[in-house]
Amino acid sequence: MTEDKLSRRMILIGGTAMLAASPLKALAQGAGPAIHVMKDPNCGCCSAWIEILENDGFAVTTERSLGTLLMRYKLENGIPQEMASCHTGSIEGYMIEGHVPVADIRRLLEERPEAVGLAVPGMPYGSPGMGPESEREAYEVLLIRRDGSTEVFTRYAAA
């Protein structure tokens, strides 16, 4: 009988510890910069990119948007049509268009250039959320200046 009570007690203590720790994990994951992402609700690669951000500590909120409404949002926020991808994030006054790696977002926030934000036009294979990095095609992350011009922010070679 004593062993049963001890086992139940240990289960209760263990369960309580797990419950107590789960809010800490949630706080730790959301402790980073807050980013709001506009995305097509049917897009799996957008969700994969968002999961990468969350796993790296970003506090992510999402909003569903489709077609012309999403494109209008991009254009109104300074994303040139030729830079468009499938989702758009907004973070600390910058726009993040497409599958931009976390390291580039963090660098943007550290350096704080005069710019609209960053873009990975299209959906290059192997970019975050678009398949394994070990099989990635070469792509560039572009800095979008306020005048609409762009320059290479980071180059990723094919793997």
Per the structure, how many domains does the chain have?
A: 2
For residue 76, give every residue at least 6 positions away whose Cβ sits within 8 Å of its Cβ, in sequence order, or none: none
Q: What is the DSSP string of 43-71?
A: -HHHHHHHHHHHHTT-EEEEEE--HHHHH
Q: Which domain holds residue 20?
A: 1-31
Do 112 and 72 touch, CB atoms closer than 8 A? no
Helix axis angle for 102-111 and 44-55, nearest 10°, is: 60
Residues 106 and 57 in one domain: yes
Confidence of residue 6 (pLDDT cuts 50, 70, 90): low
Q: Are residues 66 and 16 in the same domain?
A: no
pLDDT band of 19, cuts 50, 70, 90: very low
**What is the domain-level CATH number for residue 61?**
3.40.30
In the chain, pLDDT over 70 holds for what percent of residues? Answer: 81
pLDDT at residue 5, rounded to an integer: 53
Same domain, 12 and 45: no
Residues 70 and 117 placed together within one structural domain of the fold: yes
pLDDT in tens, 79-117: 999 999 989 999 999 999 999 999 999 999 999 999 999
